[in-house]
Structure 1
Amino acid sequence: MRRASRFLPVLLLPAALLAVDRSKPPAAGEPRPFRMPATTKLVLGNGLPVTVAEMREVPVVSAVLVVKSGAAVDPPSRHGLAWLVAELLDEGAAGRDALALDDAISVLGARLTTRATWDGSSVSLSVPASRFPEALALMADVAVRPDFPEKELTRVRKETFAALLAARSDPDEIARRALLLGVFGKSHRYGAPLGGDARTLSAIGVADVRSFHSARYRPGNAALVVAGDVTAASLAPLLERTFGSWEAGATASAAVPAPKGLATRRVLLVDKPGAEQSALRAGLVGPPRATPDLPVLEVVNTLLGGSFTSRLNDNLRERHGWTYGAYSYFDTRKVGGLFAVATDVETAVTADAVSEIVKELQRIRTPAPPAEVDRARRYYALGLPKEVETTGQVAARLADSALNGLPDGYWEDLVARALAADGKALQAAARARIDPGVLSVVVVGDRAKVEAPLRALKLGDLTVATLDEVMGAPPPE
């Protein structure tokens, strides 16, 4: 019987490896350019604009049809209509029911999704290049010829009611909705959930769904993007055959008013008796999507709360140990959006955490040390190229450009613009867009334990809201 040797082999390491300084992390590499593929612009006979990006390396094609109408144009008594239309697009189209349509898509190895945002609605497709013509025809059926069966509307609404009921027990969901109400108020569409509530969804019928689709889903109010293993020359006749019969028609228009921010800081407290922790949100009206200083603001946000090493996370998590994580973000839209801070903390430190958040928002408006500025802009710039690695990512960026009217060269300039943002530029952008004096602060927690400490902060008027005031009435059984 052989015995294992008592002596282990000595691993000889190169001298250069042994000399590595492990007392500090390695330096990051140089940011790479944000390279988008060249594009070709087409216009179909019915007026539908098309952007084609040829990416021949992998035999895959991605396509996005974006309609320039979303939840922002929902009628006041029908909030959630745009979202519901998008949900129902693939629940039966051109005579196929939902199951038959799903089978037809699956057999092609394709993936088709539908969605609505505040500013637009979309149908997205990803498929092997060899099956693209057949999949594109199905995509056209879904976007242009949906059936909107009554039974599917009933089913989707019932499932949504179940989700709304569950959301009433979720502090983070309550806080998210309370923040919309606190920042935008009851009179603006942004102040209500994108998908509506039980009352507005109950009022929506099939006639409303079909009317919205007929008025908004038109070539003159849409754009098609195709990225992948295709050529513009061969694609043009295929697109005419597939989408050319889509009637142009008249496109309904509706101006969305720009949201107005608060004049003073306010605190909204939603009571959740017995809660062991508080869900904290703070926000204000943010910039529109096409704002020229958005790349600089993204660097500001990286410094403030857009990365694990950001100031908010370092303060609330690393130094104080109050939370698992704290972050901030800009949610931009065509006519203004949302800037928000989010975290959850133990009930006992609720007021202290709110105070620290406000301090960090004040500090971001002051000059930042050069090392912090350089780290933030490099972190942001280094992450940009990975956002255009796939056909789907490229199609999504081009669809964003079509929806928001972004100028040519917008994406290619992002890295350079981020790296050019110095400390003065960051401070100017922060002072212009982040004003803690008009902040809406939301706390979802145990009122009996957090109200008095919150009032002691003297941040502004404190209002206590009921669950129904924030979430709407419970959905029907």
Structure 2
Amino acid sequence: MFQKVKLVLCGWAVLALSLPINAQKTGSALKPVEKVARKGSELVIPYEKYVLPNGLTLVVHEDHSDPIVHVDVTYHVGSAREEVGKSGFAHFFEHMMFQGSDHVADEEHFKIVTNAGGTLNGSTNKDRTNYYETIPSNQLETALWLEADRMGFLLDVVTQKKFEIQRSTVKNERGQNYDNRPYGLVGETTARTLYPYGHPYSWLTIGYIEDLNRVNVDDLKNFFLRWYGPNNATVTVGGDVNPKDVVKMVEKYFGSIPRGPEVKNRKLAAVTLPQDRYVSYEDNVRFPLLQMVFPTVPNRHPDEAPLDCLAEILGGGKNSILYKNLIKEQKAVQADASHPASELAGEFTLRVLPFPGQTLADMEKMVRASLQEFEKTGVTDDAITRFKAKYESDIINSLESVAGKVSQLAANQTYTGSPNYLPTDYKVHMAVTKADVMRVYNQYIKNKHAVILSVVPKGQAQAVAKPDNFKPTTDGYKAPADQYAGLKYVKPKDNFDRSQRPGAGKNPVVTVPPFYRDNLPNGIKIIGTENKEVPMVTLLFSMQGGHKLSAKDPSRAGIASLMAAMLNESTEKYTAEDINSQLEKLGSSISVSGGTEAINVTVESQVKNLDATLALLEERLLRPRFDPVDFERLKKQRLEAIANQATQPTVIADNVYNKLLYGEGNILAVPAIGTAATVNTITLEDIKNFYRENFSPSVTNLVIVGDIKQQDIKPKLAFLEKWTAKPVTMPVLPPMPSGDKSKIYLVDKEKAAQSEIRIGYLALPYDATGEYYKSGLMNYILGGNFNSRINLNLREAKGYTYGARSGFSGTELVGPFTAQAGVRANVSDSAVVEFLKEIKTFRSEGIHDDELAFLKSSVGQRDALKYETPYQKAVFLNNIIKYNLDADFVKKQNEILQNITKEEINTLAKKNLPLEKMNIMLVGDKALIKPGLEKLGYEVVELDTEGNQVKQTATPTAPVTPATPAPAEKNKKAPAKPRKSMPEIRTS
């Protein structure tokens, strides 16, 4: 069989060689079955594709722009391959794959990659599981050795103890990301209502607790044997590599792994609903939620792109119908539409969070009226243009990093059999017409039935849109044939010693991006660098002061953030809708945000549209309208967001912790968003005055990163010289409290499944080469990486948490040292004991020789990963200009790192880990956790959700170490989102 690829994309030719798809070894290496090369500026990712005799697919992308490599191993198995009653296997096994293999000890996978200066993780979704590393290019062979070892040599080291630890970790993850999170069960409730019983998408990737409790270690081993064969995997390598070298390494390490059982792609009949299905549940939320989900089509179906466009028109931004009818009219805090599509099905989703005073029944009527309005108004040419421009920019942005390009190649190969699906996908989206959008609306939405979910605050069951009319049933379900009988574990046979870890090649030469500086007459300081990898330009403006300026009038705290929000609205020349429409047609973005120390303006534009984007930036920066209607709406939204924070344990913990650190009367003790009392006092005239007095070029830094030279962009920024400078005085903040002794502070969050822990004190101001930097090195071993003492104890050994960490976070003035985690409620006291034990032990006993070597190796090789993307470059340059750093500060940091001694580390630990003066704060269920905390020997002070003291309880003086409960599991990122995920439910 031959495979031929020849595509023409908007005049860009994409050429591929025609070669036998089953080409095998010629001499000592495989020959490519497919090659794709870029000509000029084509929107294509060059690669070579190989297929090993055991069925493993290898895709190699060569890119020498940075001395890094990204390795991705994708297995075509996700939760959709699981069985009824055994949900969560795919994700559970992702955890197990980090627990060692025959030639890699427990926790060594993380340690080896981190020691090499790399990062790693894994993710699981409905349809695939992937594992990946980004590493300096000299560490490629090590990454491939690690991945091959767990593909071919895993099961003998899967022990019952590891199994139990990871089972507990998955439960912690479920608690943190689903059960204890506002609206966390929306997806699970929707899935079991939308899909018939037994459908592969009728449960979530995380699985059900009862299934996790039921599973045994042999079930998990069978899952591996069935789905983790090389013939169900794609290895994708991209970056600073030679394809011939990659092929030899992959042949060596993966070639002897036996094929697994055959895996076939599936197609399922489209889901249809005989009637609208109303379901509901109560949650610990302030805003009720209405969600309508219509079943649609899978990924890469011809109707997917027009449905995506329909979602943008209905609820994709300030020009959408839902925004106009619900948000603009102050009926809803949030209203959006999306069309996440997976391999077997898609879900067209409409979602609304109403303002208090509006019912979910009202929201349903308004959403349905908005759909009828769309039927009458139809699709405009502008809407199609906006959709296509946004899609193009999103695609270009996704290719900024080698990881982004590798992920694209890996996903396309896994789902389509060709890595080169990007041009096809692009072409399909660029071909969408108005008629296509109306056709899919009529086919999938108009007069069709949906799942209509109501999420209501606890105790308000009567507030649902309509009473529930559906319960899942097993009617029509037929169990599939057993796929797990007779599976055998056969280890590879090699002619080399796999226990010998590959040596690293020569360390790559890492250069800090060359940059230029400039100053405008009105005081703007400019720093920039040319970046030719993608045809984009990023500008980052930073106006110093931000929330700190509220110290001049604390009664109006939150004004900087609210003023920044107003700058995203109407200008003298354009309405907010007009300016957003123009930006979307350009594929550009301009966003203004208010932070603690600065007001930031971020601009992204394709080079070809930069002039038009900067013209809109001039409007937004220099000619805001400050419309009273916009102000009223934003202020109302802000007050609701502040009230909503009382439902979120993590936000409560951060806010109360800051109040403990900075003390009453310090503006830094007040959230940047403000409080209900302070925001209520802010008037529109206050906003105008704040803009006139503080929004000034005299305190503005500008970072420029993009595919444009300094001499070419400078004339385009001439409009900034029209910006009149004014003196801005930074307020002097009151002295920070030093703390006399450690106390436990407890905020009651009734019935919380988890407790949020914060332990720390006000430590050090930022400096790049002094005590702050060195203390960061000291903390790296304590709580600054996955293999840190804190995380290995609380997550891996004890199973209390999904992840625990510590760190210094300095600013120009001062910043805290914080150790933190979200832990199971029933181990809250034990978790505090373990945190304190690790800090005390590190302070008293210091760092070990092997830990010092690990620190120097890991941090010393990370530079290769620091400056790859435009955003990374912008952050790097922003720090240089913000803190007035020397051009060679990175070199100085490396010298400090390589010369730092155990004695210096230990001295820093003794000085900067003052355990006797740290605040110990918990947000959790008082009734459950207070008795254990009172046994620890500290004074326990009860606070409300705003940090005000409720009452104080004396406690025993002799600390008692609680018994250690049973274990749980590992820290990794949350599962990767689908290619098009639903918008996040914004709750603050």
In structure 2, which of residues 576, 582, 586 is the aligned counterpart of residue 104 of structure 1?
582
In structure 2, which of residues 568, 586, 599 is the aligned counterpart of residue 90 of structure 1?
568
Displacement of 1:326 after TM fit?
Answer: 0.9
8 A Cα contact 1:329 1:340, kept in partner: yes
The superposition leaves residues 48-91 of structure 1 with CA deviations (integer Å, 9 ceiling, x where unpaired) of 22223222343221111111111122121111111112222121
The superposition leaves residues 266-299 of structure 1 with CA deviations (integer Å, 9 ceiling, x where unpaired) of 2111122333332211121031123623332232
Please give the TM-score of this superposition, normalised by the length of structure 1.
0.88
8 A Cα contact 1:34 1:414, kept in partner: no
In structure 1, which of residues 201, 205, 212 is the aligned counterpart of residue 679 of structure 2?
201
CA distance in 2, matches of 1:195, 1:24: 55
Displacement of 1:180 after TM fit?
Answer: 1.0
CA distance in 2, matches of 1:72, 1:272: 30
The superposition leaves residues 162-206 of structure 1 with CA deviations (integer Å, 9 ceiling, x where unpaired) of 333332122222211121122222122222212111111111121
Question: What letter matches 2:756 in structure 1?
Answer: A
In structure 2, which of residues 705, 723, 731 is the aligned counterpart of residue 227 of structure 1?
705
Larger Rg belongs to: 2
Which residue number in structure 1 is paired with residue 813 of structure 2?
A: 335
1:120-131 matches, within 5 Å, as 120-131=598-609
8 A Cα contact 1:114 1:122, kept in partner: yes
The superposition leaves residues 228-258 of structure 1 with CA deviations (integer Å, 9 ceiling, x where unpaired) of 2222223333222x21111123323322345
In structure 2, which of residues 547, 555, 577 is the aligned counterpart of residue 71 of structure 1?
547
- Alignment pair present for 1:426 and 2:911: no
Which residue number in structure 2 is paired with residue 39 of structure 1?
A: 515
Consecutive unaligned residues in structure 1, runs of 5 or more: 1-8, 473-477
Q: Measured at CA, do residues 419 and 100 of structure 1 come closer, stay the same or move farther in structure 2, by a change above 3 Å?
A: farther
Partner SS for 2:705: strand
Q: Measured at CA, do residues 410 and 140 of structure 1 come closer, stay the same or move farther in structure 2, by a change above 3 Å?
A: farther
CA distance in 2, matches of 1:170, 1:30: 49
8 A Cα contact 2:652 2:946, kept in partner: no
Q: Measured at CA, do residues 315 and 97 of structure 1 come closer, stay the same or move farther in structure 2, by a change above 3 Å?
A: same
Q: Measured at CA, do residues 438 and 215 of structure 1 come closer, stay the same or move farther in structure 2, by a change above 3 Å?
A: same
Partner SS for 2:762: strand
Which residue number in structure 2 is paired with residue 299 of structure 1?
A: 777
Q: Measured at CA, do residues 71 and 466 of structure 1 come closer, stay the same or move farther in structure 2, by a change above 3 Å?
A: same
8 A Cα contact 1:174 1:471, kept in partner: no
1:265-414 matches, within 5 Å, as 265-290=742-767, 292-365=770-843, 366-414=845-893
CA distance in 2, matches of 1:433, 1:29: 37
Question: What letter matches 2:797 in structure 1?
Answer: R
Which residue number in structure 2 is paired with residue 448 of structure 1?
A: 927
Displacement of 1:102 after TM fit?
Answer: 1.1
* Residue identity (%): 24
Q: Measured at CA, do residues 430 and 97 of structure 1 come closer, stay the same or move farther in structure 2, by a change above 3 Å?
A: farther
Displacement of 1:13 after TM fit?
Answer: 6.2
CA distance in 2, matches of 1:206, 1:412: 48
CA distance in 2, matches of 1:170, 1:336: 27
Q: Measured at CA, do residues 326 and 31 of structure 1 come closer, stay the same or move farther in structure 2, by a change above 3 Å?
A: farther
Question: What letter matches 1:323 in structure 2?
Answer: T
Displacement of 1:358 after TM fit?
Answer: 1.0
- Alignment pair present for 1:210 and 2:688: yes
Partner SS for 2:889: coil
CA distance in 1, matches of 2:623, 2:526: 20
8 A Cα contact 2:856 2:898, kept in partner: yes
Question: What letter matches 1:427 in structure 2?
Answer: N
Partner SS for 1:263: coil
CA distance in 1, matches of 2:829, 2:727: 54
CA distance in 2, matches of 1:138, 1:307: 42
The superposition leaves residues 131-190 of structure 1 with CA deviations (integer Å, 9 ceiling, x where unpaired) of 222222322332232222222222222223333333212222221112112222212222
In structure 2, which of residues 530, 539, 546 is the aligned counterpart of residue 54 of structure 1?
530
Which residue number in structure 1 is paired with residue 962 of structure 2?
A: none
Question: What letter matches 2:596 in structure 1?
Answer: W
Displacement of 1:123 after TM fit?
Answer: 0.6
8 A Cα contact 2:591 2:603, kept in partner: yes
Partner SS for 1:93: coil
8 A Cα contact 2:760 2:918, kept in partner: yes
Please give the TM-score of this superposition, normalised by the length of structure 2.
0.44
Displacement of 1:353 after TM fit?
Answer: 1.1
Displacement of 1:35 after TM fit?
Answer: 3.0
CA distance in 2, matches of 1:345, 1:160: 30
Displacement of 1:432 after TM fit?
Answer: 2.8
Question: What is the aligned length?
Answer: 462
Question: What letter matches 1:200 in structure 2?
Answer: T
8 A Cα contact 1:259 1:335, kept in partner: no
Consecutive unaligned residues in structure 2, runs of 5 or more: 1-52, 56-249, 256-493, 951-988
Partner SS for 1:160: helix
CA distance in 1, matches of 2:496, 2:597: 51
CA distance in 2, matches of 1:372, 1:436: 22
* Higher mean C-alpha displacement, 249-258 vs 43-52: 249-258
Q: Give the alignment's Cα RMSD to 1 decimal.
A: 2.8
Displacement of 1:106 after TM fit?
Answer: 1.7
Which residue number in structure 1 is paired with residue 733 of structure 2?
A: 256
Displacement of 1:436 after TM fit?
Answer: 1.1
